[in-house]
Chains A and B, each alone.
Chain A
Amino acid sequence: MSQRYLLGTFEREEDIVGVVKKVRELNYKIVDVYTPYAVHGLERTAGFAPSRLPWVCFALGLFGALFKVWFEFWTTASDWAINVGGKPWNSLPAYVPITFEVMVLFAGLSTVFAFFWSSRLFPGKKPIMPDIRVTNDRFVLVLEQEDSTFDVAKVQRIFKRFNTVKVEERQEGGQG
Chain B
Amino acid sequence: MADLYSTLRQPLIAGNKSLGEVTNDVSGVLERKTSPLWWRAFMASLLFLLIGAAAITYQVATGIGTWGLNRTVGWAFDITNFVFWIGIGHAGTLISAVLFLFRQRWRTSVNRAAEAMTIIAVMCAGLFPLIHMGRPWLAFWMFPYPNMRGSLWVNFRSPLVWDFFAISTYFTISLVFWYVGLLPDLATIRDRAKAGIRKKIFGLLSLGWNGSLRTWNRYEVLYLLLAGLATPLVVSVHTIVSWDFATAVIPGWHSTILPPYFVAGAIFSGMAMVLTLMIIARKVMGLEDYITLRHLDVMSKLIIVTGSIVGLAYATEFFIAMYSENPYETFLFKNRALGPFAWAYWTMVLCNVISPQLLWFKRIRRNVAWVFVLTILINVGMWFERFVIVVTSLHRDYLPSSWTYYTPTLIEVLTLLGSFGLFFTGFLLFCRFLPVIAMAEVKGVLSHGHRSVRSGSR
Contact = CB atoms under 8 A, between A and B. Distances in A.
Contacts of B451: 12, 14-15, 163
Contact of B211 (A17, A36, A54, A79): A36
Contacts of B452: 14
Contacts of B214: 32, 43, 48, 119
A149 interface: no
Contacts of B356: none
B188 A135 contact: yes
Interface in B208-234: 208-222, 225-226, 229-230, 232-233
Given A100-B232, A121-B208, 7 more contacts: A35-B216, A37-B19, A51-B217, A51-B218, A76-B157, A80-B153, A104-B232
B236 A101 contact: yes
23 contacts: A12-B451, A13-B448, A14-B2, A14-B449, A35-B211, A37-B19, A37-B444, A39-B216, A40-B220, A40-B444, A43-B220, A50-B217, A50-B221, A51-B222, A53-B222, A76-B156, A79-B151, A80-B150, A101-B169, A115-B180, A115-B218, A123-B204, A132-B191
Interface residues of B, number: 73
Interface string A36-48: 1111111100101
Interface in B173-192: 173, 176-177, 180, 183-184, 187-188, 190-192
Given A127-B206, A135-B184, A136-B23, A38 B216 contact: yes
A76 B144 CA distance: 11
Q: Is the interface of B mostly helix, strand, loop or mixed?
A: helix
B220 A79 contact: no
B165 interface: yes
B248 interface: no
A66 interface: no
B225 A111 contact: yes
Contacts, number: 215
B256 interface: no
B208 A120 contact: yes
Contacts of A79: 151, 153
B286 to A, nearest CB: 20
B207 interface: yes
A154 interface: no
Nearest to A120: B208
Contacts of A87: 157
Interface of A: 12-15, 17, 32-43, 46, 48, 50-51, 53-54, 57, 71-72, 75-76, 79-80, 82, 84, 87, 91, 94-95, 97-98, 100-102, 104-105, 107-109, 111-112, 115-116, 118-129, 132-137, 163
B409 interface: no
Contacts of B18: 137
B226 A43 contact: no
B429 to A, nearest CB: 21
B152 interface: yes
A136 B144 CA distance: 46
Contacts of A15: 451
A121 B213 contact: no
B344 to A, nearest CB: 30
Interface in B427-453: 439-441, 443-444, 448-452
A53 B172 contact: no
Interface in B286-301: none
B236 A118 contact: no
A100 to B, nearest CB: 6
Nearest to B179: A112
A108 B226 contact: yes
A162 to B, nearest CB: 10
